[in-house]
Chains A and B, each alone.
Chain A
């Protein structure tokens, strides 16, 4: 079975400071990992993904995430937070060895960037 956990419901960070939103996963083989962002009253927008290759993945809006197989983590990071980054962030995982299974999403982490 595949699962993903986002241990923090809420993350607060000051504008200009680095931010990290945590994600850990559980799959039997090598995972496909994704981050999505949701702004108020909007659908989920794709940010970045890890499929294979370089463990450091760069995505939209200056975000990046690092795949760490030994710690089964895929934390989302940004060097300098903006107020406009305030949103709900979802981590998702899929085990490609289980066929074309749906993505499994975490419960989301609300990021608040304070000016």
Chain B
């Protein structure tokens, strides 16, 4: 019963490098989400996906790219990392059956951009 896993859990990179954060869920939930958590801002939505091959921008999408070729995977790519992207990143998934919806979160990836 793995639920949602994220990898890596910790990552240090340099400005300008490309970084991909992985997210995998075992429930076949249709919806998946990427959030970043920063002090003073709470959780901010980066991108979300309603199903495979369907993605939408959230509140803070600039500098990020997502894809969803399979229902269970939702990778987040920072094409050219900047210091402002230092943050903790959380992936989440949600079952969308009416009245039963609950959003579940992964353990997070702590990213430091030097």
Contacts and interface: CB of A to CB of B under 8 A. Distances in A.
Interface stretch (A13-21, A23-31, A42-50, A76-84): A42-50
A49 B95 CA distance: 14
A51 to B, nearest CB: 5
Interface string B34-46: 0100001111010
A49 B31 contact: no
B58 interface: yes
Contacts of B43: 44, 90, 105, 108
Q: Chain A, interface size: which category?
A: 20 to 34
Given A49-B102, A90-B43, A102-B58, A43 B48 contact: no
Contact of B108 (A42, A46, A100): A42
Nearest to B103: A103
Nearest to A36: B105
B96 interface: yes
Interface in A41-91: 41-46, 49, 51-52, 90
Interface string B1-19: 0001000000000000000
A49 B48 CA distance: 21
B101 interface: yes
A43 B42 CA distance: 13
Contact of B40 (A34, A43, A107): A107
A41 B43 CA distance: 15
Given A34-B103, A43-B106, A107-B40, 12 more contacts: A41-B108, A42-B108, A43-B90, A45-B105, A100-B50, A100-B96, A102-B33, A105-B35, A106-B42, A107-B41, A108-B42, A108-B43
Interface of B: 4, 31, 33, 35, 40-43, 45, 48, 50, 58, 90, 92, 96, 99, 101-108
Interface of A: 32, 34, 36, 41-46, 49, 51-52, 90, 92, 100, 102-103, 105-108
18 contacts: A34-B102, A34-B103, A42-B107, A44-B43, A44-B92, A44-B105, A45-B105, A46-B102, A51-B101, A90-B42, A90-B43, A100-B31, A100-B50, A102-B31, A102-B45, A105-B43, A107-B42, A108-B43
